[in-house]
Amino acid sequence: MKKIHIIGLGLLGGSFALALKQAKPDIKFTGFDANPKNQEDAQILGIIDEAKEEPDADTDVIILATPANTLSGLLIKYLDQVGPNTLIIDFGSTKENLCKAVTEHPKRAQYLAGHPIAGTEYSGPKAAKADLLDKKVFIICEMELTDVHLKGMAYDILEALNMKLRFMDAEEHDRHLAFVSHLSHVSSFMLGKTVLDKMEDEKNIFDMAGSGFASTVRLAKSSPAMWAPIMEENKKNMLEALSLYISNLSKFRDKIIAEDYESLASEMQKINKIGDILDLGK
């Protein structure tokens, strides 16, 4: 493996390149970003060795790290044009629509549907970190549909990045991510909106904001250019997650209205177990 081309030189694409450059310094990285400033920054920061819109014919791996609603078009475009020895991997947060889009493609075996479970609330190449992916989970969907030899190249990369592999089908992936990732971003954005709306009346509200508010609203700093497309691509599961979340909020409010604080405390006590599930105490 000698050459990797990255399309989308932001947080994930940039962090991937920085980490793999450390592990495999002989690989040449080319790349492209629709934002000229991102592309310029990626070169200055050493994320890519050369900027170019199209990958060279001898490129071993093409990484797609662009917003979720752009991935289908890009995937089909590059599958149409690559030679038989090139593997395409995407880093998208949604998988069902993407996998369906190439089900019948004659080069489907040259695509690996991936999702690194890593990120921060920041975006762009300047947010990229060489250790972002270290020990993080990398989900692969429809593993059996990727060519075994090309898949071996992907495993070599992921092992070099010290990532932990998980396998699931695309529909299951999107359903789970709607609850454990996508919903938390919506919740954070809406908490931020609620406080901003209140601030119009009470200018000093942020003087009373403590660490609990800061940690809960942290994700509201995330890029709308990335997260609005995720809501678009995962609409069905997001609506289910939001409906359940809104129902639980309404029930919580109803207990306060009814002054049923004993039941409220009991409910929160049951929810405390999520700390044990996520190992939050360590």
Instruction: Give the CATH number of the domain where residue 266 resides.
Output: 1.10.3660.10
What pLDDT, on a 0 to 100 scale, did the predictor assign at position 212? 81
What pLDDT, on a 0 to 100 scale, did the predictor assign at position 164? 97
What pLDDT, on a 0 to 100 scale, did the predictor assign at position 202? 67
- 13 lies in a domain? yes
Q: Which of 99-108, 195-204, 218-227, 270-279 has the weakest average pLDDT?
A: 195-204
Tokens matching residue 118: 């890593």
> Comparing C-alpha atoms, which of 45, 60, 55 is closest to residue 9?
45
Does pLDDT of 121 surpass 90?
A: no
Domain closes at, from 169, 197, 231: 169
Tokens matching residue 229: 């497309």
Are 111 and 23 in a shared domain? yes
Alpha carbon distance 123, 226 (integer Å): 9
Q: What pTM, to 2 d.p., does this model score? A: 0.90
The distance of Cα 22 from the centroid of its chain, to the nearest Å, equals 22
Are 140 and 176 in a shared domain? no
Percent of the chain with pLDDT over 90: 85
The CATH number for 69's domain is 3.40.50.720
> Which range scores top for mean pLDDT: 101-115, 119-133, 186-200?
101-115
What pLDDT, on a 0 to 100 scale, did the predictor assign at position 281? 41
Range of 197's domain? 172-277
Q: What pLDDT digit, counting tens, does each position of 128-168 carry?
A: 999 999 999 999 999 999 999 999 999 999 999 999 999 99
- 28 lies in a domain? yes
Does pLDDT of 280 surpass 60?
A: no
Are 138 and 22 in a shared domain? yes
- 282 lies in a domain? no
Angle at 208 between CA 203 and CA 214, to 5 degrees: 105
Does pLDDT of 272 surpass 80?
A: yes
Are 111 and 144 in a shared domain? yes
What pLDDT, on a 0 to 100 scale, did the predictor assign at position 140? 98
What's the number of domains the chain is made of? 2
The CA-atom distances, in angstroms, between 56 and each of 2, 30, 33, 51, 81 are 11, 9, 16, 11, 11
Are 153 and 255 in a shared domain? no
Q: What pLDDT digit, counting tens, does each position of 2-59 carry?
A: 999 999 999 999 999 999 999 999 999 999 999 999 999 999 999 999 999 999 999 9
What pLDDT, on a 0 to 100 scale, did the predictor assign at position 282? 42
Are 57 and 157 in a shared domain? yes
Q: What pLDDT digit, counting tens, does each position of 182-228 carry?
A: 999 999 999 999 988 887 766 677 677 777 888 888 899 999 999 99
In sequence order, the 6+-apart residues with CB closer than 8 A to the CB of 150 are 85, 87, 109, 110, 112
The answer to whether 68 and 61 have CB atoms below 8 angstroms apart is: no
Are 147 and 123 in a shared domain? yes
- 36 lies in a domain? yes
